[in-house]
């Protein structure tokens, strides 16, 4: 009898999509409703993905041989496939963005490369996997907020909002894969809690460092108005980071599982919207 190591909803099925996003002209501009801060914030997040997602894939795949549940093995393959496409799309996004705006890509990625080298040197494979469960929690709760609330992308061209929502949908679909693998190979809640604390610190350190560097390059670093609007967006209205505080802390609770909040409805709504959009695009 095979053990059931996947704890995702039994009807859940997912795999990679390969959408195309024609966004080059948008990347040259303050595409997030003309806001320098919001644009730099999202562009900074994009900078974290190619290296981060490479690390996530490697940390999960390292344990594939120790998984018996065929369903979880299938989810690992889908996780790997989805994250690989995310890496590719964001790598292209980042290269094009830096080309168009004159940003220095290696200076954004340098500290991430160093930290990952440190993690490979100093941490066990299971600790690195715990780090991935923490980062997948962060991406899953941000994705949930983004898909649930239209106010995240007010004034944003749908072509680039689509890219972020597509990524958000796939983060939702595979949100429990790293978690279930970590639990299946004997990973402890203590390891995951510690990893979330550490990775939250680094997430904010990296995202604000890159946001600041972009604003400095654009000559907007010392604009009080730019920072006031940014703080407002993140913490007050709509307060996209304030809103995820409650789901964030659930991760520390005993017995937590990423699917205890079943938000498959957000995936279904996005699919329906996408089909409607493509029908409209196809009609003469
Ligand atoms: Fe991703
Ligand atoms: Fe992910």
Q: Kindly identify the ligand whose nearest atom is closest to the C-alpha of 83.
A: 1
Q: Ligand 1 centre and the CA of 26: distance in Å?
A: 21
Q: Which residues line ion ligand 2, judged by CB < 5 Å? A: 171
Is the Cβ–Cβ distance between 130 and 198 less than 8 Å?
Answer: no
pLDDT tens-digit map of 120-140: 999 999 999 999 999 999 999
What is the CA 61 to chain-centroid distance, rounded?
18
> What is the pLDDT averaged over residues 67-81?
98
Q: Ligand 1 centre and the CA of 29: distance in Å?
A: 24
3-state SS, residue 219:
coil
Higher per-residue pLDDT: 275 or 11: 11
Q: Ligand 2 centre and the CA of 93: distance in Å?
A: 17
> Which pLDDT does position 4 carry in this prediction?
93
Collect all residues with Cβ–Cβ distance below 8 Å to 227 and sequence separation of at least 6: 37
Instruction: With a cut of 80, say whether residue 278 has pLDDT above it.
Output: no
> Which pLDDT does position 50 carry in this prediction?
98
pLDDT tens-digit map of 9-51: 999 999 999 999 999 999 999 999 999 999 999 999 999 999 9
Whether the bond into 219 is cis, omega within 30 of 0: no
Tokens matching residue 219: 């000559």
Report pTM. Answer: 0.96
With cut-offs at 50, 70 and 90, classify the pLDDT of residue 62. Answer: very high
Where in the chain are the domains? 33-282
As to burial, measured by CB atoms within 10 angstroms (0-12 exposed, 13-18 middle, 19+ buried), residue 60 is buried
CA distance 238 to 242: 8
Burial state string for 171-197 with b = 16 or more CB within 10 A and e = fewer than 16: bbbbbbbbbbbbbbeebebebbbebbe
What is the topology classification, in CATH, of domain 33-282? Ribonucleotide Reductase, subunit A (1.10.620)
Q: Kindly identify the ligand whose nearest atom is closest to the C-alpha of 175.
A: 2
Q: Which residues line ion ligand 1, judged by CB < 5 Å? A: 83, 86
Is the Cβ–Cβ distance between 134 and 250 less than 8 Å?
Answer: no
> Which pLDDT does position 283 carry in this prediction?
59
> What is the pLDDT averaged over residues 62-66?
98
Q: Which phi and psi (to 5°) does residue 81 adopt?
A: -65, -45
pLDDT tens-digit map of 209-268: 999 999 999 999 999 999 999 999 999 999 999 999 999 999 999 999 999 999 999 999
CA distance 213 to 205: 12
Q: Ligand 2 centre and the CA of 133: distance in Å?
A: 9
> Which pLDDT does position 284 carry in this prediction?
54
| Mean pLDDT of all residues belonging to the chain | 96
pLDDT tens-digit map of 160-195: 999 999 999 999 999 999 999 999 999 999 999 999
Q: Which phi and psi (to 5°) does residue 156 adopt?
A: -105, 135
CA distance 153 to 151: 5
> Which pLDDT does position 274 carry in this prediction?
87
């Amino acid at each position: 009898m095979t053990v059931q190591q996947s704890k995702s909803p039994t009807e859940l099925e997912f795999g990679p999509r390969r959408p195309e996003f024609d966004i080059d002209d948008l990347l040259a501009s303050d595409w997030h409703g003309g806001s320098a801060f919001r644009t730099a914030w999202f562009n900074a997040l994009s900078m974290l993905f190619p290296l981060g997602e490479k690390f996530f894939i490697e940390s999960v795949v390292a344990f594939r041989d120790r998984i018996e549940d065929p369903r979880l093995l299938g989810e690992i393959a889908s996780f790997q496939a989805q994250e690989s496409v995310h890496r590719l799309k964001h790598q292209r996004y980042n290269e094009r963005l830096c080309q168009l705006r004159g940003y220095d890509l290696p200076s954004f990625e340098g500290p991430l490369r160093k930290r990952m080298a440190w993690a490979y040197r100093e941490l066990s494979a299971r600790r690195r996997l715990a780090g991935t469960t923490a980062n997948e929690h962060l991406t899953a709760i941000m994705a949930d907020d983004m898909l649930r609330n239209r106010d995240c992308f007010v004034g944003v061209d749908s072509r680039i909002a689509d890219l972020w929502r597509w990524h958000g949908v796939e983060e939702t679909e595979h949100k429990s894969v790293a978690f279930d693998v970590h639990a299946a190979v004997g990973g402890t809640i203590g390891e995951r809690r510690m990893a979330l604390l550490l990775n939250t610190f680094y997430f904010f350190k990296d995202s604000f460092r890159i946001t600041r560097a972009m604003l400095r390059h654009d000559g907007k670093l010392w604009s009080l108005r730019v920072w006031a609007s940014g703080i407002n967006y993140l913490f007050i209205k709509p307060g996209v980071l304030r809103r995820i505080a409650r789901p964030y802390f659930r991760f520390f609770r005993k017995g937590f599982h990423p699917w205890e909040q079943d938000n498959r409805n957000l995936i279904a709504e996005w699919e329906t919207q996408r089909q409607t959009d493509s029908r409209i695009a196809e009609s003469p």
